[in-house]
């Protein structure tokens, strides 16, 4: 056992950690904080090593949702830990941990990374930042978790800015050599030299006198991710309306203008389940009053009743910083930080009482009034964007004892808790948006989004989100061209949350693709044609709802991420280690978005036989194809043998028409489709070349087959 003086001296602990056999033990309610240099079993297939004296508050010690224990125990679990901890050192600057990296091994993860995919050779620092413009690890939702292609995952349980040096920390040279080169060395030429790989991941945990490191076993990469998600509390299953189409209205619109928009969407036959209100609904928005604006929204009850009668769920924008004019202000004051943001209080969401005061207000005043969800904005350290004053500083102190640096890593998560608790208390489901999240997030019904807007980065974020239990919305706002709008809309329809966020655009983007034309007489010339094109894409979202429901039901059941990188399904295909612009949606569909302005794109298909989703044409996998940029539809490929259900198109998911299934059979139909759950069903090939429906839950599922299409190509 080390004492504190040893730690400060920086004693190196050579951790030839022997893998302790994993017996299925329950994690103790209050784990003992002691130094352990070996992996100790936590759950089957999950081990922990304690280095030094970990900090009191960490993502795991502060978690509010327990592991999904039953499902976790059902996963196959190796008895032995497959990797050793190579070393650990605790000193005045924090902890340094060394983990192995084999020659052909690659690693992925670290949360919602927008700028890179495979992480070997890179340094990633887990720092929350709303504006990640450089590939340093900064993210709306960075997570200190990585997954290896050889089938294990590492989680570092810290709210510090942990740096992962993934095979890029070089040891010093120890032997003199002579050089004969005539070349003048430049940084670029050095970069191309074959540097000797270190063969390790070096993890630097600043400021902490100790940390717990968790090892998640495979055997496959997918098992690692499942185990992490189930340990987090299991995958979320959104309410069905959350999988429909979302539209966020212009922030300057008043109640009657929003009702007008709501009617227009219905009249123009644009499906829409959720209507979002932006800052303008509040009497004060930066910081927030959480109260309706007296003149723009003079009759909130009547307004909400009107929207509900049109069939909309209503989602409200807000951030946590609480303005002195807010009815919540005085109650929140004792539960807030010593510094403010935008002239408002920063709630201490780690403090149970702070979370409750903030949440109770929302429950009584907004959820009980019929609000179905929230968009939790600005919780992601936008100080880096705004140049100061847009978030709390690292030296901020919270009543719960956390400092600002620690709080940034859990602010989005505990904010989600404050809101989610209120829905749970009322036995209501919700689905919302959040701009920051982090570790152990898979059970939260919130989807990440960003103010950034590069279409390729948005797709990469979607691909990366699946490694770390996160959901991402590549939202559509304005566009450079009609094609840009179409391409972005196609991507968002094949994503966890299909949304147009027109917060700064007066009219729907198909009427004015850019920000400027805000008057009726300045609308795009051919807007009706563009609207028809967009409607057609949005209708596909409605058709996809049953399929998406099954992908999310699986997420809840065994932690399989509904949206994920190809490498998770095909870890041994080395070509896929670099594919960050294609992803799996559920188990059967591979999506490869087109980007406006590009003549063509390459689509790499994994092994096996695939069908074009739209035409049924057969493509042999294990090779790549060039898809021309003028192709109208988003390229989607379906695994041969799949049976896919498409719902009927209606203006909302509550319509009975959505229960009328058109079933597409790709190839021989040998791959059964299943929606798990109480109201579940299964679709199977029948002997008469048709498809049979079978209920698999205790409640009626309400679906019926109205047509079967054989997609032979
Ligand atoms: C931003 C947010 C946008 C929009 C805007 C309203 O922070 O990312 O989506 O809500 O605020 O002011």
Output the CA 418–ligand 1 centroid distance in Å.
20
Ligand 1 atom nearest to 451, measured from its CA: 8
Got the DSSP string for 294-310?
Answer: TTTTS-HHHHHHHHHHT
Helix, strand, coil tally for the chain in percent (to 5): 25, 25, 50
CA 503 to ligand 1: nearest atom: 4
Query: Is any atom of ligand 1 closer than 6 Å to the C-beta of 377?
Result: yes
Q: Whose CA is nearest to atom 11 of ligand 1?
A: 377
pLDDT at 5 over 50: no
How far does residue 317's CA lie from ligand 1's centre (Å)? 8
Reported residue count of the chain is 713
Cα 314 vs. chain centroid, distance in angstroms? 22
Helices (H), 314-454: 329-332, 352-362, 383-386, 404-425
Taking the CA atoms of the chain, what radius of gyration do you get in angstroms? 26
Give me ligand 1 centre to Cα 576, in Å.
35
**pLDDT (tens digit per residue) in 599-641:** 999 999 999 999 999 999 999 999 999 999 999 999 999 999 9
Q: What are 123's strand-pairing partners?
A: 165
CA of 185 from ligand 1 middle (Å) equals 47
Measured from the Cα of 475, ligand 1's closest atom is: 9
What is the pLDDT confidence band of residue 688, given thresholds at 50, 70 and 90? confident
Peptide bond into 219 cis (omega under 30): yes
Which stretches of 427-509 are DSSP H helices?
A: 455-465, 482-493
**pLDDT confidence band for 36 (50 / 70 / 90):** low
Nearest to 641 by CA among 684, 688, 674: 684
CA end-to-end distance (rounded Å), the chain: 68
Question: What is the mean predicted confidence (pLDDT) over 365-388?
Answer: 89
Higher pLDDT, 213 or 385: 213
**Closest to 702 measured CA to CA, from 624, 648, 666:** 648
Between 573 and 12, the higher pLDDT residue? 573
477 CA to centre of ligand 1 in angstroms: 11
- State residue 104's pLDDT score: 85
Enter the tokens of residue 509. Answer: 């983007």
DSSP for 549-609 reads HHHHHHHHHH---SEEEHHHH-TT-GGGGG--S-EEETTTEEE----TT-SEEEEEEPSSE
Q: Is 378 in the pocket of ligand 1 (CB under 6 A)?
A: yes
Residues 160-181 have a mean pLDDT of 85
- pLDDT exceeds cutoff 90 at 252: yes
Query: For residues 234 and 260, is the Cβ–Cβ distance under 8 A?
Result: no
pLDDT at 417 > cutoff 80: yes
Q: Bigger pLDDT: 330 or 185?
A: 330
The per-residue pLDDT for 497 is 98
Question: Ligand 1 atom closest to Cα of 501?
Answer: 9
Is 317 close to ligand 1, i.e. is its CB under 6 Å away? Answer: yes
pTM of the predicted model as reported, rounded to 2 decimal places: 0.93
Instruction: Give yes or no for residue 69 CB within 6 A of ligand 1.
Output: no
Question: Residue 286 CA: which ligand 1 atom is closest?
Answer: 12
Query: 394 C-alpha vs ligand 1 centroid, how far in Å?
Result: 23
Provide the edge-to-edge strand list for the sheet that holds 163-166: 12-13, 87-91, 94-100, 200-206, 163-166, 123-125
pLDDT of 37 above 80: no
- In this prediction, residue 351 carries a pLDDT of 97
Beta bridge partners, 376, equal 318, 434
250 lines ligand 1 (CB under 6 A): no
**Distance in Å, CA 362 to ligand 1 centroid:** 20
Pocket test for ligand 1, best of 131, 247, 278 (most atoms within 8 A of CB): 278
Dihedral, CA atoms, 477, 480, 486, 492, nearest 10 degrees? -40
Q: For ligand 1, what atom is nearest to the CA of residue 251?
A: 6
Give the contacts of 181 (CB within 8 A, at least 6 positions apart): none
Q: How far is the CA of 377 from the centre of ligand 1 (A)?
A: 7
Determine the average pLDDT of the residues in 373-388.
85
Could you tell me if the CB of 451 is within 6 A of ligand 1?
yes
* The pLDDT value given to residue 13: 37
Counting ligand 1 atoms within 8 A of each CB, the residue from 377, 383, 476, 501 with the most, and so the one to mutate, is 377
- Number of the ligand 1 atom closest to the C-alpha atom of 450: 8
- From the CB of 142, is ligand 1 less than 6 Å away? no
Residues with Cβ within 8 Å of residue 612, at least 6 apart in sequence: 619, 635, 636, 637, 638, 713
Q: What is the pLDDT of residue 6?
A: 37
Compute the distance from residue 130 Cα to the ligand 1 centre, in Å.
11
Handedness of CA 403, 404, 409, 415 (dihedral sign): positive
Secondary structure element (H or E) that encloses residue 191, with its range: helix 187-192
Say what the pLDDT of residue 597 is: 93
Q: Which of 463, 430, 436 is nearest to 448 (CA)?
A: 436
Would the pLDDT of 20 be above 50?
no
Taking 80 as the threshold, does the pLDDT of residue 68 lie above it?
Answer: yes
List Cβ neighbours of 464 (8 Å cut-off, separation of 6 or more): 108, 109, 110, 111, 112, 113, 114, 117, 565, 580
Give the distance (Å) from ligand 1 centre to CA of residue 243.
22
Q: Is 281 near ligand 1, meaning CB less than 6 Å away?
A: no
Q: In this predicted model, what pLDDT tens digit does every residue of 70-129 receive, in sequence order?
A: 999 999 999 999 999 999 999 999 999 999 999 889 999 999 999 999 999 999 999 999
Confidence at residue 384, expressed as pLDDT on a 0 to 100 scale: 72
Q: How far apart are CA 47 and CA 83, in angstroms?
A: 11
Q: Is the CB of 279 under 6 A from ligand 1?
A: yes
Ligand 1 atom nearest residue 375's Cα? 10
What's the pLDDT score for residue 102?
93
Q: Take residue 648 and report the two structure tokens written for it.
A: 């009927």
- Ligand 1 centre to CA of 451 (Å) is 7
pLDDT digits (tens, 9 = 90+) for 21-35: 333 334 434 333 344
Q: Considering only CA atoms, which residue is closest to atom 9 of ligand 1?
A: 451
Q: What separation in Å is there between the alpha carbon of 316 and the centre of ligand 1?
A: 12
What pLDDT is stored for residue 210 in this prediction?
96
- CB neighbour burial string for 445-456, b if at least 16 within 10 angstroms, e if fewer: bbbbbbbbeebe
Instruction: Give 345 Cα–ligand 1 centroid separation in angstroms.
Output: 19
Q: Decide: 280 in ligand 1 pocket, CB within 6 A.
A: no
pLDDT at 139 over 60: yes
Sign of the C-alpha dihedral computed for residues 157, 162, 167 and 171 taken in this order = negative
**Residue 12 pLDDT > 50:** no
Q: Is the pLDDT of residue 515 over 80?
A: no
Q: Is the pLDDT of residue 329 over 70?
A: yes
Q: Inform me whether the pLDDT recorded for 170 exceeds 80.
A: no
Query: Would strands 313-319 and 274-277 be described as parallel, antiparallel, or unpaired?
Result: parallel
CA–centroid distance, residue 449 to ligand 1 (Å): 10
* Structure token pair of residue 58: 């960490």
Question: Ligand 1 center to residue 526 CA distance, Å?
Answer: 29
pLDDT tier at 189 (50, 70, 90 boundaries)? Answer: low
Distance 527 CA to ligand 1 centre (A): 26
Q: How many CB atoms lie within 10 A of CB 187?
A: 6
Asked whether the beta carbons of 97 and 205 are under 8 A apart, the reply is: yes
What's the gap in Å between 318 CA and the centre of ligand 1?
Answer: 9
Which residue lies with its CA nearest to atom 12 of ligand 1? 279
251 lines ligand 1 (CB under 6 A): yes
Cis amide prior to 287 (ω within 30 degrees): yes
Whether 146 contacts 153, CB under 8 Å = yes
Spell out where 229-324 has E strands: 245-248, 274-277, 313-319
Exposure string of 508-533, with b = 16+ CB inside 10 Å and e = fewer, is: bbbbbbeeebeeeeebbeebeebbeb
Nearest Cα residue to atom 3 of ligand 1: 451
C-beta neighbour count of 649 within 10 angstroms: 20
The whole-number average pLDDT for the span 162-185 is 84
Residue among 227, 206, 215, 212 at smallest CA distance from 57? 212
The whole-chain average pLDDT of the chain stands at: 92
Q: Is the dihedral of CA 26, 28, 31, 35 positive or negative?
A: negative
Q: Which of 129, 501, 503 to mutate to test the pocket of ligand 1 (most atoms within 8 A of CB)?
A: 503
Tokens of 644: 């896919």
What is the best residue among 249, 288, 451, 492 to mutate for testing ligand 1's pocket, by most ligand atoms within 8 Å of CB?
Answer: 451
d(CA 699, CA 681): 10
Distance 283 CA to ligand 1 centre (A): 17
How close is the Cα of 275 to the center of ligand 1, in Å? 15
Q: What is the β-pairing status of strands 245-248 and 123-125?
A: unpaired
What spacing in Å lies between the alpha carbon of 434 and ligand 1's midpoint?
11
Specify which residues 583 forms β-bridges with: 565, 591
382 CA closest ligand 1 atom index: 7
The answer on pLDDT for 713 being more than 90 is no
Establish whether residue 318 lines the binding site of ligand 1, counting it when its CB lies within 6 angstroms of any ligand atom.
Answer: no
% of the chain with per-residue pLDDT over 70: 92
Given a cut of 60, whether residue 558 has pLDDT beyond it is yes
Mean pLDDT score, 234-254: 98
- pLDDT bucket at 564, cuts 50 / 70 / 90: very high
């Amino acid at each position: 056992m080390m004492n504190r003086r040893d730690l400060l001296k920086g004693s190196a602990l050579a951790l030839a950690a022997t893998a302790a056999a994993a017996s299925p033990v329950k994690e103790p309610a209050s784990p003992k904080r002691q130094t352990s240099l070996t992996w100790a079993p936590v759950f089957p297939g999950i081990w922990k090593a304690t280095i030094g004296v970990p900090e009191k508050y960490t993502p795991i010690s502060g978690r509010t949702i327990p592991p999904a224990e039953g499902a976790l125990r059902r996963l196959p679990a190796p008895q032995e830990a497959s990797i050793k901890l190579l070393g650990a050192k605790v000193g005045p600057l924090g902890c340094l941990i060394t983990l192995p990296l084999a020659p052909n091994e690659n690693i992925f993860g670290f949360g919602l990374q927008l700028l890179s995919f495979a992480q070997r050779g890179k340094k990633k620092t887990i720092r929350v930042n709303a504006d990640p413009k450089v590939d340093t690890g900064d993210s709306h939702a960075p997570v200190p978790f990585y997954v290896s292609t050889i089938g294990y995952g590492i989680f570092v349980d810290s709210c510090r800015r942990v740096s992962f040096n993934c095979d890029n920390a070089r040891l010093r040279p120890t032997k003199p050599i002579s050089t004969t080169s005539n070349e003048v060395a430049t940084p670029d030429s050095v970069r191309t030299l074959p540097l000797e790989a270190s063969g390790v991941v070096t993890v630097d945990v600043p400021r902490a006198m100790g940390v717990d490191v968790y090892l998640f076993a495979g055997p496959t990469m997918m098992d690692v991710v499942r185990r992490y998600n189930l340990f987090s509390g299991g995958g979320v299953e959104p309410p069905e309306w959350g999988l429909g189409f979302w539209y966020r209205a212009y922030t300057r619109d008043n109640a009657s203008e929003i009702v007008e928009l709501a009617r227009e969407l219905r009249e123009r036959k644009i499906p829409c389940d959720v209507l979002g209100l932006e800052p303008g609904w509040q009497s004060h928005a930066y910081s927030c009053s959480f109260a309706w604006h007296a003149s723009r929204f003079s009759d909130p009850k009547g307004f909400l009743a009107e929207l509900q009668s049109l069939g909309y769920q209503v989602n409200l924008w807000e951030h946590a910083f609480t303005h002195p004019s807010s009815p919540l202000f005085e109650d929140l004051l004792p539960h807030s930080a010593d510094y403010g943001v935008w002239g408002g209080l920063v709630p201490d969401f780690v403090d149970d009482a702070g979370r409750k005061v903030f949440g109770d207000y929302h429950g009584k005043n907004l959820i009980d009034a019929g609000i179905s969800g929230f968009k939790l904005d600005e919780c992601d350290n936008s100080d880096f964007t705004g140049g100061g004053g847009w978030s709390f500083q690292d030296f901020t102190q919270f009543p719960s004892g956390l400092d600002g640096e620690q709080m940034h890593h859990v602010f989005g998560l505990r904010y989600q808790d404050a809101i989610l608790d209120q829905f749970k208390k009322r036995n209501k489901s919700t689905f919302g948006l959040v701009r920051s999240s982090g570790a152990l997030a898979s059970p939260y019904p919130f989807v990440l989004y960003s103010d950034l807007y590069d279409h390729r980065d948005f797709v990469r974020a979607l691909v990366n989100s699946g490694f770390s239990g996160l959901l991402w919305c590549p939202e559509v706002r304005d566009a450079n061209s009609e094609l840009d709008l179409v391409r972005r809309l196609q991507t968002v329809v094949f994503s966890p949350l299909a949304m147009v966020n027109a917060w700064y655009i007066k009219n729907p983007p198909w009427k004015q693709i850019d920000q400027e034309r805000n008057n009726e007489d300045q609308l795009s010339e051919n807007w009706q044609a563009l609207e028809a094109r967009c409607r057609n894409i949005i209708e596909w979202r409605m058709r996809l709802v049953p399929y998406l429901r099954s992908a999310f039901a699986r997420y809840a059941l065994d932690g399989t991420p509904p949206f994920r990188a190809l490498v998770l399904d095909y870890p041994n295909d080395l070509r896929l280690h670099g594919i960050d612009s294609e992803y799996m949606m559920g188990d059967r569909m591979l999506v490869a978005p087109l980007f406006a302005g590009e003549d063509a794109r390459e689509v790499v298909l994994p092994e096996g036989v695939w069908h074009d989703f739209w035409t049924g044409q057969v493509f042999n996998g294990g090779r790549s194809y060039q898809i021309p940029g003028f192709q109208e539809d988003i390229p989607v490929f379906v695994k041969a043998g799949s049976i896919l259900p498409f719902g009927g198109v209606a203006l909302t998911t509550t319509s009975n028409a959505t229960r009328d299934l058109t079933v597409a059979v790709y190839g021989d139909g040998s791959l059964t489709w299943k929606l798990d759950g109480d109201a579940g069903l299964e679709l199977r090939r029948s002997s008469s070349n048709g498809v049979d429906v079978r209920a698999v839950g205790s409640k009626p599922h309400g679906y019926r087959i109205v047509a079967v299409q054989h997609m032979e190509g």
